Amino acid sequence: MTPQLHAEMVPAVRPILACRLRHKPPQEGRRCPPPGAGEIELENTTSGVVEIKVDIHPLQYLDLQVSDAAGNVISKHHYGNLFSLLAEPYTMRLRPGEKYTGLVSLLGNVPRENQCTGSYRVQAIYEFDNVRAVSEPLAVTVNPARVPE
Domain presence at residue 11? no
Pairing between strand 37-44 and 17-23? antiparallel
Domain presence at residue 44? yes
Domain presence at residue 3? no
Check: pTM over 0.85? Answer yes or no: no
Asked if the model's pLDDT at residue 148 lies above 90, the reply is no
Mean pLDDT of the residues in the chain: 85
The pLDDT of residue 12: 47
Domain presence at residue 132? yes
pLDDT band at residue 4, thresholds of 50, 70 and 90? Answer: very low
Domain presence at residue 10? no
Domain presence at residue 2? no
Domain presence at residue 71? yes
Asked if the model's pLDDT at residue 103 lies above 90, the reply is yes
Q: Domain holding 114: CATH number?
A: 2.60.40.2970
The pLDDT of residue 47: 94
The number of folded domains in the chain is 1
The pLDDT of residue 29: 62
Domain presence at residue 75? yes
- Residue 77 lies in domain: 17-23+35-146
Task: State residue 141 phi and psi, 5-degree precision.
Answer: -120, 125
Query: Which tens digits make up the pLDDT trace of 7-62?
Result: 444 444 567 999 999 998 776 666 656 768 899 999 999 999 999 999 999 999 99
